[in-house]
Amino acid sequence: MKALKLLTYEDLAEVLNLPISTVRTWGSLEPDKLPPRMKLGRNVRFHPDTVENWIKAKNAQGQRLFGDKA
């Protein structure tokens, strides 16, 4: 069985094309702006399929991924 690579904040920032500082700040202060996460002890990880589904759901609903401004 192939090992699944869970995404770190750094990986998520790359996928979403955002600065790592923004992703870390949102993770701490506004976690609802990010895909659902899992805590592994003190570490935060994101499942790649969950991230992909979150992006698809936002697009299907016609929602912007971030913010209310155009």
Over residues 12-18, the mean pLDDT reads: 95
Residue 69 has pLDDT above 90, yes or no: no
- The mean per-residue pLDDT over the stretch 47-59 comes to 94
Tell me which of 37 and 1 has the higher pLDDT: 37
Q: What is the residue range of 51's domain? A: 9-58
Helices (H), the chain: 9-16, 20-29, 48-60
Residue 55 has a pLDDT of 93
* Residue 50, in any domain of the structure: yes
26 assigned to some structural domain: yes
Q: Which structure tokens are listed for 39?
A: 């805590």
Res 70 pLDDT > 60: no
Please provide the distance, in angstroms rounded to a whole number, between the alpha carbons at the two ends of the chain: 44
In a domain, 45, yes or no: yes
Position 28: which residue type? S
Give a yes or no: residue 67 inside a domain: no
Residue 66 maps to a domain: no
Q: Is residue 2 part of a domain?
A: no
Domain membership flag for residue 3: no
**Residue entry with tokens 């701490």:** 28
Residue 15 has pLDDT above 80, yes or no: yes
Domain total in the chain: 1
Does 63 map to a domain? no
Residue 59 — pLDDT band, cuts 50, 70, 90? confident
